Structure 1
Amino acid sequence: MEVHNVDMVMSAVSPSQYPTDGKPEFALVGRSNVGKSSLTNTLINRKNFARTSAQPGKTQTLNFYDVEDQLYFVDVPGYGYAKVSKKQREEFGQMIETYITSRKRLRGVISLVDARHAPSQEDVMMYEWLNYYHIPILVVATKLDKIARGKSNQAESIIKKKLGYDPSNSDFLFFSSQTKYGKDAVWDWIEAHI
């Protein structure tokens, strides 16, 4: 998709605040600092539209970005960040669960993991949970430019094994915000799921 117009239309914490115009939605989930903002900015051809924060765990609401008046990207609070209190983590969990399990407009979830490391326990739990609800998943391994050439097959194997990857409900690809590698493939997946 060629993107020219993007608006951050709302931040929501409960269903009464979600958009009501019926556009398809794609949620982006992942640990704090995995590169959700970088992926979003690359997909929408902007430098700093989605803010990368110096403070991981800063996104505390579901942020809805209207892309070309055709669909929404929904930026979900990053998980796995220690400085957020246990109570706050539970509130985030409840907010995310309510959105993902009840939202009829949700067409798929882009689940980001760091290509340099095996997925965390939180990554695995999120993946298993999305699978349980039969939500189409695109696993995006970010920071491809930071792993040595020729090591991507090994990284893919480690990630898939740790996640318990299920090809019947998931797709996998690498992404680099530096080189834009994977950008078109992410858009292809999104367009296939609209």
Structure 2
Amino acid sequence: MKVTQATFEVSAVKPAQYPKDVLPEIALAGRSNVGKSSLINCLIERKNLARTSSKPGKTQTINFYRINDQFYFADVPGYGFARVSKSVREAWGKMMETYFTERKTLKAVIQVVDLRHPPTADDQTMYQFLKYHQLPVIVVATKADKIARGKWQKHLKIVKETLELQPEDPLILFSAETRQGKEELWRVIEAKLEISQAE
């Protein structure tokens, strides 16, 4: 996909604040600091539309980015960050659960994991949650540039087995640095969006 227009639309914590037009949405979920913002910026070829932060747990809202007036990326708060209070974590959980279970325009969730490490218990919980609610999942294993090419398959196998990845869910090797996997990911996203347009 050639991105000619990408704008930050709104930050939301509750359904009343979500975008009102009924464009399809692709959500991004992942642990704090796993590289969701870098992934968005790489896909849309903007340096810093999605704000990257070295401080985990900074994104505390669902951030909507309008792409080509065709669809939204919805970046949800990173999970698994221990240094925020229990009450804040619970509020995030509730906010995300509401979004994932009630948002009719949501067409797929990109779950971002770090290729360098086996998926965490939080990653596993998130994947199981999405599958339970029958949401299409695209697993993106990022930071591929940090691992020798010869070890990619071994690490992908660990991701697959740890998440108990279902055959219908794509697993894409990705690097925001080298753009590895960018075209493949766009193809998968476009397929999910075309399904929605045909509905």
Shared fold by TM > 0.5? Answer: yes
TM-score range for the pair, normalised by the shorter chain length: over 0.9
1:54 and 1:155 map into 2 onto residues whose CA distance is 25
Q: Which residue of 1 aligns with 2:66?
A: 66
Q: Which residue of 1 aligns with 2:155?
A: 155
2:14 and 2:66 map into 1 onto residues whose CA distance is 18
The one-letter amino acid of 2:139's match is V
Q: How many residues align?
A: 193
Q: How does 1:63-142 map to 2 (within 5 A)?
A: 63-142=63-142
Q: Which is richer in helix?
A: 2
DSSP-derived class of the 2:40 partner: helix
1:90 and 1:69 map into 2 onto residues whose CA distance is 33
The one-letter amino acid of 1:133's match is H
Unaligned stretches of 5+ in structure 2? 194-199
Deviation per residue, 1:51-108 (Å, 9 max, x gap): 1112110000000000011000001000111111111000000000000000110000
Given the two structures, how large is their TM-score scaled by the length of structure 2?
Answer: 0.95
1:69 and 1:185 map into 2 onto residues whose CA distance is 22
Q: Which residue of 2 aligns with 1:180?
A: 179
DSSP-derived class of the 2:94 partner: helix
Unaligned stretches of 5+ in structure 1? none
Given the two structures, how large is their TM-score scaled by the length of structure 1?
Answer: 0.98
Q: Which residue of 2 aligns with 1:193?
A: 192
1:192 and 1:62 map into 2 onto residues whose CA distance is 24
Q: Which residue of 1 aligns with 2:170?
A: 171
Q: Which residue of 1 aligns with 2:19?
A: 19
Q: Which residue of 1 aligns with 2:5?
A: 5
1:15 and 1:149 map into 2 onto residues whose CA distance is 43
